[in-house]
A and B are shown apart, each in its own frame.
Chain A
């Protein structure tokens, strides 16, 4: 690595401008990064964070501006040159070969192509050395397919370090991690900066920025609107810079819960092998009530969501909606019964990306007389409906005919909200409703959920984001190994207790329930 004089930036972006057709993704962005520094790149979806980092790494070529690493200009459009200059990138969607071992994944691309042998022993020693030095525990011989998401991310980071990376870029590194894994990640990153690396991480989560970064750069609409020393700023200031207006978190008003809309009575769903997905799970959601389901990913939350969506059926136990027992329901049946469903994955299950906005908005109701007659679509009515939803739910898109996959994540979510909430639902199933959304969109989604609660809907909120659960739930239940705790009133349970319950220490339950029973 070329030595950099102290005080000189290791990386300098000057006047970077990038246009995609009429859209200006980056507008004259200039940014410097110093060795040993952790910079957070903060901005809403579509603010141009990922584009900027892709230019830096050579995936895109900037229309204007230059990139300088360690005092030398970087040739545009060459990831190879960026790698050689000591820049490493960990993408949001990992770039690992699932069928190869950890060691193979780390070594790939570092070996000469035309050589019949490779020194795997030395490579393994080097990998283990790096792994130990930075606290990134991995098993070099495990296949990537067998690793958890957190472990895969560690492999990605090690892959970058193995190539002598001095500048590490991470694109939304915590989007796929549990809170515990995220804390571990930031600990690792701090060790790296202590070792003299410069780290940039892209984020739109305020708590991460304050927990980890030294400096924060805020992008809005492609422009760099501010850089701040993190310690000298406040979450309110950054949120305002990021969104361009002040953001107030919604404050749920206390409400008396009404009659039950959803009741699970000892519902079991078999998985076909081993532990059941749901194991004698019981749960009640009432009108005017938000029930938050907390838990570490993979403890049956998806099965619960699928059950209420109508995708799977109970093998044992009873599922009741508004007092009527539901047998073998399908999604169409659930929609008819007034269940508004916000799926976990809006790209894969929520929307048909290749179809237009109006086509997606009628997807659950295209056979209604409002949208079709004698098997022929009423396109004008459907478009008019789309116009209304676009206006009422503030969907930012060119119009009803826009292709859905061109929308940002937040706008896709608004589209789903518009599709399901426009029809006065009895029950709302919100599965990870704000995953990957920015501050503005998160508060919008929460506001809509609370509004529906005020109008008499019951809300089942399944989330891996504990802050979200605590912010909007009236009652909280924890899932572990397919089982669900009784409802715990929000004001009687602390984060520490929830953490213990999420880790399976249900022996503390009697204390919490006893306390709340005693208090009420």
Chain B
């Protein structure tokens, strides 16, 4: 058996690859489900119903998908330019932190003014968090995988310190949580009596915008050139350093916005369990989507559905909801293989 590179990857194949990967991951997970003693078809049916089967389930899945779209875009944008941003989790918390401070009654502004201010400031905080590692990378060649990853812990401990101290809600019964944002800084709900908020529209709009920027504009063109061959980009007169820093601002900004939107749209206040690893899951989302901005939306909804569905399933069967983590991890591994098979042809002999 040997691999031969395909001269062109047909569109159908690049669409089929993620579908096949998901199917393969579901099959592999079926073994684990069966092992835990549940009926596989019933478990998967419960999962699908729990994620998509009702108005409530659907809005829950989309609510969960909103930050994943944003962190997925953050990873996709950075990875396109070969900037390995592993720090979306920290950037998300920085965005949330700034949002909760600015939206917590510091300014008494009308909502149409305060809300954009809070969201933009949150995004700026996320971007600034990635700017440091990016500058270290372009100036001194410091590996950004290490710096962005370690910054996550620093940010989390910093937030923890503030939640135990300066930002601790006096009305919070001693819990390490901030005071809630004021009503003018809350994102409107999309559907009555659900948790789905306007952050979803923001995420979808940004995905479409990024697709446009990526394929149609000078910025996207330069980003792709720098990502694919920085030496050639520099030789052709592109300001590689500036493009890298620009990419860092956009990537960190998207992750920061994810945090700000979670605070203003969903939670209202900041705690240390604001994000169950959205920053890291964003990497999985981006990889599943093959770094395509529109693909990110699909991948984020899929992963959100797996998590929401697994919760529902574990309530009704003996399968623990950890199966969701296994399923997501397997999907990523299967996607890597599927991506390989899409780019190469398997030949026997």
A interface residues (Cβ-Cβ under 8 A, vs B):
20-21, 61, 76-77, 309-311, 330-335, 341, 343, 348-355, 359, 363-364, 366-367, 372, 375-377, 379, 403, 406
CA distance A379 to B217 in the complex (A): 9
The answer to whether B349 has its CB under 8 Å from any CB of chain A is yes
B291 to chain A, nearest CB (A): 12
Can you report 17 residue pairs joining A to B where beta carbons are below 8 Å apart? Answer: A21-B6, A77-B349, A309-B235, A311-B235, A331-B234, A331-B237, A335-B237, A348-B231, A349-B232, A350-B232, A352-B228, A354-B229, A359-B221, A363-B236, A367-B218, A376-B218, A377-B218
What residues of chain A lie closer than 8 Å to B221, measured between beta carbons? Answer: 359, 366, 377
Number of A-B contacts (CB under 8 A): 79
CA distance A376 to B213 in the complex (A): 8
CA distance A20 to B192 in the complex (A): 58
The answer to whether B216 has its CB under 8 Å from any CB of chain A is yes
- CB contacts under 8 Å to A, within B291-349, are 347, 349
CA distance A353 to B225 in the complex (A): 9
Of chain A, the residue at the smallest CB distance from B228 is: A354
Of chain A, the residue at the smallest CB distance from B9 is: A403
Residue of B216, B219, B237, B349 ringed by the most chain A CB atoms within 10 A: B237
Known: A352-B225, A352-B233, A379-B216. 20 other contacts (CB 8 A): A20-B7, A21-B6, A21-B7, A311-B235, A331-B234, A335-B237, A343-B235, A348-B232, A349-B231, A349-B232, A349-B235, A350-B232, A351-B232, A352-B224, A352-B229, A355-B224, A363-B232, A364-B236, A366-B218, A366-B222
List 6 tightest A-B contacts by C-beta distance, closest first.
Answer: A332-B237, A363-B236, A354-B228, A331-B237, A352-B229, A349-B235
- CB contacts under 8 Å to A, within B1-35, are 2, 4, 6-8
- Asked if A311 and B218 sit within 8 Å, CB to CB, the answer is no
CA distance A21 to B160 in the complex (A): 59
What residues of chain A lie closer than 8 Å to B238, measured between beta carbons? Answer: 332, 363
- Asked if A406 and B218 sit within 8 Å, CB to CB, the answer is no
Of chain A, the residue at the smallest CB distance from B230 is: A352
- Asked if A76 and B229 sit within 8 Å, CB to CB, the answer is no
- Asked if B225 and A355 sit within 8 Å, CB to CB, the answer is yes
What residues of chain B lie closer than 8 Å to A21, measured between beta carbons? Answer: 6-7
CA distance A20 to B234 in the complex (A): 34
CA distance A23 to B28 in the complex (A): 38
Q: Say yes or no: A375-B2 contact (C-beta < 8 A), given A349-B232, A350-B232, A352-B225.
A: no
- Asked if A61 and B235 sit within 8 Å, CB to CB, the answer is no
What residues of chain B lie closer than 8 Å to A363, measured between beta carbons? Answer: 225, 232-233, 236, 238
What residues of chain B lie closer than 8 Å to A350, measured between beta carbons? Answer: 232, 235
Q: Say yes or no: A375-B7 contact (C-beta < 8 A), given A311-B234, A351-B232, A354-B229.
A: no
- Binary flags per residue of B239-273, CB closer than 8 Å to A gives 1, else 0: 10000000000000000000000000000000000
B6 to chain A, nearest CB (A): 8
Total interface residues in chain B, CB < 8 Å: 26
Of chain B, the residue at the smallest CB distance from A346 is: B232
CA distance A61 to B225 in the complex (A): 35
Residue of B6, B232, B234 ringed by the most chain A CB atoms within 10 A: B232
CA distance A508 to B309 in the complex (A): 85
Which one, B6, B218, B224, B236, contacts A375 given CB within 8 A?
B218
CA distance A349 to B235 in the complex (A): 6
- Asked if A353 and B236 sit within 8 Å, CB to CB, the answer is no
CA distance A331 to B231 in the complex (A): 11
- Asked if B225 and A364 sit within 8 Å, CB to CB, the answer is no
- Asked if B235 and A77 sit within 8 Å, CB to CB, the answer is no
Of chain B, the residue at the smallest CB distance from A341 is: B235
- Asked if B232 and A375 sit within 8 Å, CB to CB, the answer is no
Which one, A61, A310, A355, contacts B347 given CB within 8 A?
A61
B68 to chain A, nearest CB (A): 27
B162 to chain A, nearest CB (A): 39
CA distance A367 to B2 in the complex (A): 43
CA distance A366 to B229 in the complex (A): 16
Of chain B, the residue at the smallest CB distance from A331 is: B237
- CB contacts under 8 Å to A, within B195-237, are 216-219, 221-222, 224-225, 228-229, 231-237
Of chain B, the residue at the smallest CB distance from A343 is: B235
- Asked if B217 and A375 sit within 8 Å, CB to CB, the answer is yes
B82 to chain A, nearest CB (A): 11
What residues of chain B lie closer than 8 Å to A364, measured between beta carbons? Answer: 236-237
Residue of B218, B222, B233, B349 ringed by the most chain A CB atoms within 10 A: B218
What residues of chain A lie closer than 8 Å to B6, measured between beta carbons? Answer: 21
Of chain A, the residue at the smallest CB distance from B235 is: A349
- Asked if A355 and B237 sit within 8 Å, CB to CB, the answer is no
A93 to chain B, nearest CB (A): 17
- Asked if B229 and A353 sit within 8 Å, CB to CB, the answer is yes
- Asked if A377 and B217 sit within 8 Å, CB to CB, the answer is yes
A422 to chain B, nearest CB (A): 14
Residue of B221, B228, B238, B349 ringed by the most chain A CB atoms within 10 A: B221
What residues of chain B lie closer than 8 Å to A309, measured between beta carbons? Answer: 235
What residues of chain B lie closer than 8 Å to A334, measured between beta carbons? Answer: 237
CA distance A403 to B228 in the complex (A): 12
Which one, A61, A343, A355, contacts B349 given CB within 8 A?
A61
B9 to chain A, nearest CB (A): 10
Which one, B8, B224, B229, contacts A348 given CB within 8 A?
B229
- Asked if B237 and A330 sit within 8 Å, CB to CB, the answer is yes
What residues of chain B lie closer than 8 Å to A348, measured between beta carbons? Answer: 229, 231-232
What residues of chain B lie closer than 8 Å to A354, measured between beta carbons? Answer: 228-229
Of chain A, the residue at the smallest CB distance from B6 is: A21
Of chain A, the residue at the smallest CB distance from B347 is: A61
What residues of chain A lie closer than 8 Å to B216, measured between beta carbons? Answer: 376-377, 379
- Asked if A375 and B234 sit within 8 Å, CB to CB, the answer is no
- Asked if A376 and B217 sit within 8 Å, CB to CB, the answer is yes
CA distance A354 to B2 in the complex (A): 23
What residues of chain B lie closer than 8 Å to A366, measured between beta carbons? Answer: 218, 221-222
CA distance A359 to B215 in the complex (A): 11
What residues of chain A lie closer than 8 Å to B231, measured between beta carbons? Answer: 348-349
CA distance A350 to B239 in the complex (A): 16
CA distance A359 to B226 in the complex (A): 13
Of chain B, the residue at the smallest CB distance from A21 is: B7
- Asked if B2 and A77 sit within 8 Å, CB to CB, the answer is yes
Which one, A330, A333, A352, A379, contacts B232 given CB within 8 A?
A352
CA distance A311 to B219 in the complex (A): 22
Of chain B, the residue at the smallest CB distance from A367 is: B218
- Asked if A406 and B217 sit within 8 Å, CB to CB, the answer is no
CA distance A196 to B244 in the complex (A): 58
A21 to chain B, nearest CB (A): 6
CA distance A332 to B239 in the complex (A): 9
A409 to chain B, nearest CB (A): 15
CA distance A395 to B221 in the complex (A): 23
CA distance A180 to B216 in the complex (A): 51
CA distance A311 to B7 in the complex (A): 33
What residues of chain A lie closer than 8 Å to B236, measured between beta carbons? Answer: 331, 363-364
What residues of chain A lie closer than 8 Å to B225, measured between beta carbons? Answer: 352, 355, 359, 363
CA distance A344 to B7 in the complex (A): 26
What residues of chain B lie closer than 8 Å to A351, measured between beta carbons? Answer: 229, 232
